[in-house]
């Protein structure tokens, strides 16, 4: 019973996109590990950009223009 957890920022991800993530992650487990899709769980967690940090700076702040070499 594999569990795949996907964490994304909460920025207008549609139900269709989430369904594609669930389907794609499930298929990946089938293709790579031979897992049964009926017992493969996929969890999607949406994280606020103020709760997600990189290099000591929140993603929200990075997107407001803080200088960084990361392409977020």
Which active-site residues does the annotation give? 2
Residues 27-55: b if buried by 16+ CB within 10 A, e if exposed:
eebeeeeebeeeebebebeeeebeebeee
Say if CB 6 and CB 42 are below 8 A apart. Answer: yes
| End-to-end CA, the chain | 33
């Amino acid at each position: 019973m594999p569990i795949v957890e996907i964490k994304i920022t909460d920025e207008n991800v549609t139900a269709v996109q989430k369904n594609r993530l669930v389907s794609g992650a499930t298929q990946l487990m089938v293709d790579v590990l031979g897992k049964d899709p009926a017992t493969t769980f996929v969890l999607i967690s949406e994280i606020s950009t103020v709760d997600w940090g990189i290099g000591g700076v929140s993603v929200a702040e990075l997107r407001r223009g803080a200088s960084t070499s990361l392409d977020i």
